[in-house]
Structure 1
Amino acid sequence: MTENYYKWHSPHLNREFEMLVFGDSGYPLLLFPTSMGRYYESKDFGLIDAAGWFVDQGLVRIYCPDSVDANSWYNKNVPPAERAYNHLCYDQMLANELLPRITAETGHERIAVAGCSFGGYHAANFAFRHPAVVSYLFSLSGIFDIAQRVDHQFDDNVYFNNPVSFLPDNEDEDLWRMGIVLGTADHDVTRGQNEQLSGILGAKKISHWLDVRPNRVHDWPVWKEMLPHYLSLIKA
């Protein structure tokens, strides 16, 4: 499997940013790490190997960006408004730096996004904020309400980066042409939030699959089962 490491100075973040990319061709998948995870986490925990067949066959090219969670939602050393602003800078980096690069390298103007646990939040938030450029959302045990991460203090940046808040009023027509999978498990701590988001999508008549895996928990083994299954749904 081809693996490439990239590092550049991000003007939106005003810092160096790192990323791993797996594969030479295929449909682009932006795969976010878990809470405060690094760009190499999905490789280290075997998630990339689990998806290896799709990469080796040239069906999927996986982009693994770093996170900024330690400076944003998990940064208790700054006020909630600053945490939200720091995340907004991350979102702008993804949309204005990383996405154009992915388009130039793959020729695809729409991408798939995925992530496990808090990475599922990042995937869903990016997808629902930018539905015109996201064709598939695969959330693996994601969370979708970041109210606790800002001590329940809301401003516009918090509201518009909190899917359970802004999605009910989001009428972007591209939401209805997105392939959405919400993966969770019987004994997953995120099951309630997945059922809540499924309810929001259902009320809007947005097609999606709430995949509740029996006799499983919130951990890497189930995510390594889920991701290959979900990748098989991509129609390039």
Structure 2
Amino acid sequence: MQESYSEFYSHHLGHSVKVLTFGTRGYPLVIFPTTLGSYFEAKDRGMIESVRYFIDRGFVQVFCPDSINDASWYASIHPKHRLERHIQYDKFLYEEFVPQIRYNTPAGRIACAGISFGGFSATNFAFRHPEAVSHLFCMSGAFDIKSFLHGYYDDNAYFNNPADFITGADDPWLWNMKIILGTSNWDICLDNNLKFSEKLRQRNIHHWLDVRGDMEHDWPLWLEMFPHYVSLI
């Protein structure tokens, strides 16, 4: 399995973003790290190894960009500036990074995956830009970031809070996306997924709510889910 390291300069962020890439061809799949996880988290935690079969055969090419959660959602700054910083990262992904990888396939779209807080990141990006995302694999994610805003709320908050903006979303590409919400009976995010699934159901947005057995919000659950989901691309 070929692995490569690169640094992608972002004009929106004003600095380079570290990226690990696995494989040389195949459907582009972007993995978002957990809370304060880094670009090498998926490799270190066994996520990449769990889908080696698909990478080695050129079915998927996996991209692991670094996050800036420590400078946005988890930074000691005003919530308004947390949102602004996150939007810069979103612009980096959508306008700078994804255009370099989305045309690996004739579909011209990518798959997104994320775990825990990375599940929010993947969902938010996918639902903000459904024309660029064909598959969403959200594992034990949450969908409401109001707790990071401490009462502050504006248009930027609304359009980066899937629990809110999904109720008014009308981009037809949303109804063409393959969406999986993975959780489990013991997952601390089970209730978040049940509620978000109901919101999608009310909008007739097709998705699979995958509630697994008695497993906790931890890597054994996600290592079981991830290769299954990737096999469905």
| TM-score, structure 1 normalization | 0.96
Match of 1:92?
Answer: 91
What displacement does 1:93 show?
0.2
In structure 2, the partner of 1:228 is 227
Alpha-carbon offset, residue 105 of structure 1: 5.1
Q: In the alignment, what sits opposite 1:32?
A: 32
Unaligned runs of 5+ in 1: none
Specify the alignment match of 2:147 in structure 1: 148
- 1:176 paired residue number: 175
Specify the alignment match of 1:125 in structure 2. 124
Contact 1:19 1:66 (C-alpha < 8 Å) held by counterparts: yes
Q: CA deviation at 1:152?
A: 3.0
- Are 2:137 and 2:181, in contact at CA under 8 Å, matched by a contact in 1? yes
Per mean C-alpha deviation after superposition, the further-off stretch among 37-46 and 148-157 is 148-157
> How many Å separate the matches in 1 of 2:37 and 2:106?
28
Q: Is the 8 A contact 1:115 1:138 kept in 2?
A: yes
Following superposition, which runs of at least 4 residues in structure 1 exceed 6 angstroms of deviation? Answer: none
Secondary structure at the aligned position of 1:37 is classed as coil
Tell whether the 8 Å contact from 2:102 to 2:132 is kept in structure 1 after alignment. no
Task: State how 1:1-236 maps to structure 2 within 5 Å.
Answer: 1-75=1-75, 77-104=76-103, 108-234=107-233
Task: Give the secondary structure class of the aligned counterpart of 1:102.
Answer: helix
- Structure 1 SS opposite 2:215: strand
CA drift at 1:9: 2.3
Shift of residue 126, structure 1, vs aligned partner: 0.5
Contact 2:137 2:229 in 1 (8 A): yes
CA contact (8 A) 2:103 2:109 kept: no
3-state SS in 1 of match to 2:167: helix
Partners of 2:87 and 2:124 in 1: CA distance: 11
**Deviation at residue 156 of structure 1 after TM alignment:** 1.1
The alpha-carbon deviation at position 103 of structure 1 amounts to: 2.7
Question: SS at the partner of 2:144?
Answer: coil
- Following the alignment from structure 1 to structure 2, what is the Cα–Cα distance between the partners of residues 100 and 121? 22
After superposition, the C-alpha distances for 1:36-59 in whole angstroms (9 at most, x for unaligned) are 110000000111001111111110
Distance in 2, Cα, partners of 1:2 & 1:155: 44
The separation in 1 between residues aligned to 2:194 and 2:27, in whole angstroms, is 28
Is this contact kept in 2: 1:28–1:108, CA < 8 A? no
Report SS of the residue matched to 1:196. Answer: helix
User: What is the alpha-carbon distance in structure 1 between the residues aligned to residue 25 and residue 102 of structure 2?
Assistant: 12
Are the equivalent residues in 1 in contact too, given 2:8–2:19 (CA < 8 A)? no
Once the 2 structures are TM-superposed, how far is the Cα of residue 108 of structure 1 from its aligned partner? 4.7
For 1:204 and 1:2, how far apart are their aligned partners in 2? 41
* CA contact 1:102–1:108 (8 Å) conserved in 2: no
Moved more, 107-116 or 81-90: 107-116
RMSD: 1.0
SS of residue paired to 1:165: helix
C-alpha separation between the residues in 1 aligned to 2:126 and 2:171? 11
SS in 2 for 1:222: helix
Provide, for residues 61-116 of structure 1, a one-character-per-residue CA deviation record: whole Å limited to 9, x for no partner: 001010000011111x2100000000000000000111111135556511100010
Aligned residues: 233
Q: Percent identity?
A: 48
SS in 2 for 1:184: strand
Contact 2:163–2:196 (8 Å) recurs in 1: yes
Residue type at the aligned position of 1:212: V
Give the Cα separation in 2 of the matches to 1:119 and 1:152.
23
